[in-house]
Amino acid sequence: MDEIHDEIHDECGVFGVYSSENRSVAHTVYYGLYALQHRGQESGGIAVAFADKITYYKGMGLIPEIFTGGNLEKLPEGDIAVGHVRYSTTGASQLLNAQPVVFTGKCGKMALAHNGNLTNTKQLRDKLIAQNAVFQTTIDSEVMAIMINSLSDGDILKGVKLACPQFKGAYALVIMTVDKLIAVRDPYGIRPLCIGTADDDVIVASESCALDAVGANFLRDVKPGEIVVIDSNGIQSYMMDEIPEESRLCIFEYVYFARHDSVIDGCSVYEARQEAGRLLARHYGVDADIVAGVPDSANVAARAYAEESGIPFVEALAKNRYVGRTFIQPDQTQRENSLSVKMNALRANIRGKRLIIIDDSIVRGTTMRKIIKMLRDAGAKEVHVRVCSPIVKHPCHLGIDIQSYSQLIGAYRDENEISRCIGADSVRYLSVEHLVESCKKSNLKFCLGCFTGKYPYPMETYETDKFKFE
């Protein structure tokens, strides 16, 4: 447990457009993916439908890196396109596993992009292999695409309706044929997905901030268990059978994943983070001279903490804007190296001061330990950590890369033990009840499995941890 690595891995972002005319729809997807880059920095791709063909380009790295050198311009004009940014939660970090998944099947040309993670991938894969299916990748998204195709009998909607009840886990899908764009959200609504319009075009995206980026107006969120078909007949909605009475959106969307200017299922991410900061100040306060946030995702909460407590907000850490989210790098060495150039302490602001540092979450502990050392080396007299989420005690199997208890600093430690481990003067976490309260304007029910061990799907048969300590 000494070799605990930070931090939590993000999942993916999806984007799709159905245009009323042939045009450079790839450019629309490009800007949409740019706005969703925070959801995955490992790989990305865009597929475009024109006539009876689908052309695509995928690559490793950030969207501007992938589509440099004329790669975006090489994609043809068309009327439908889908795109994806990825962090690998299942499948190795390599170009072969980049999305969208594109292939030819019973429905002709087809492309699929997926945000989330299935818990029964192995069972489905084995079933398809027994039916002579051939796989080119190691990702669950290809399993979904092949199953949809195998059950379609040439009708993509039929394939989606028959396949989705067999998928267990989290999924927000955008699927494209040469004449349709389909958006699907799992029955619990674990991962977000929304719809917007721009003139006569229809846009589907993981977050509303991506709609804003392409000048689209937010129409609505895709409902849990909903299949939305967009084609020449307009927008049609179909609901899956046996939808749970209550949805289970991943609450980490509000804690960390989503951009703070997004609104998910009627709840503003910005307002939820503000309220989390206020609740920290009211219930978990400590006497100090200044308050600061770990940039950028904790700054909203840190300012709210400062306002509620009356303790001045200062910037304690300067961030290099040209370094991506540290933990999204797929290799631990890359994460640690990039952290060393990502932040620097502002000595003049913190020297001799008792500092409260606000963070959205602590998962493995390495990053916060280094930040605290950095602040002490810069002259901070005391460093008190306040966290805008509960202790992460359990793995996640629904689209976040926390696969084992041995990765979690909080799996077998309380607040005092965590404080000693990371070198803080004190550590306090928001309770589960207060975290849910921070999203009070939504009336949503959430997946809290990483905090409570209670998941929407049973995990008895899922290999959760090879290194669990009993």
Tell me the HSE value of 40 on the side-chain side, using a 13 A CA sphere.
29
Model pLDDT for residues 50-88, shown as the tens digit of each residue: 989 999 999 999 999 999 999 999 999 999 999 999 885
Q: Which of 12, 250, 267, 421 is catalytic?
A: 12
Using an 8 Å Cβ cutoff, are 86 and 99 in contact? yes
User: What letters, b where the CB count within 10 A reaches 16 and e where it falls short, cover 439-461?
Assistant: beebebbbbbbbbeeebbbebee
Task: Judge if the upstream peptide bond of residue 73 is cis by omega within 30 degrees of 0.
Answer: no
Residue 235 parent element (H or E)? strand 234-239
Task: Say how far apart CA 140 and CA 133 lie, in whole Å.
Answer: 14
Model pLDDT for residues 93-151, shown as the tens digit of each residue: 678 889 999 989 999 999 999 999 998 999 999 999 999 988 988 889 999 999 999 99
The residues, any chain, with a CB within 8 Å of residue 253's CB and separated by 6 or more, are 192, 264, 269
Choose between 335 and 159: higher pLDDT. Answer: 159
pLDDT value at residue 332? 55
Task: Say how far apart CA 93 and CA 103 lie, in whole Å.
Answer: 20
Alpha carbon 426 to chain centroid distance?
29
Model pLDDT for residues 278-309, shown as the tens digit of each residue: 999 999 999 999 999 998 889 999 999 999 99
Q: What is the pTM for the complete model shown? A: 0.90
DSSP string, 95-113: GGG-SSEEEEETTEEEEEE
Using an 8 Å Cβ cutoff, are 115 and 33 in contact? no
Burial (Cβ within 10 Å: 0-12, 13-18, ≥19) of residue 410: buried
| Per-state percent for the chain, helix, strand, coil, to nearest 5 | 30, 30, 40
Using an 8 Å Cβ cutoff, are 56 and 47 in contact? yes
Q: Which residue has the tokens 């952290």?
A: 339
SS3 track for 42-103 = CEEEEEEEECCEEEEEEEECCHHHHCCCCCCCCCCCEEEEEEEEECCCCCCCCHHHCCCEEE
Q: What does the pLDDT average to over 21-42?
A: 95
Mapped onto helix, strand or coil, the DSSP state of residue 304 is: helix
All structural domains of the chain, each given as residue ranges with its CATH number in brackets, are 12-247 (3.60.20.10), 268-452 (3.40.50.2020)
82 forms beta bridges with 16, 47
Q: Is the pLDDT assigned to residue 243 strictly greater than 80?
A: yes
Residue 347 parent element (H or E)? helix 347-350
Task: Say how far apart CA 286 and CA 188 lie, in whole Å.
Answer: 38
Residue 194 among the catalytic residues: no
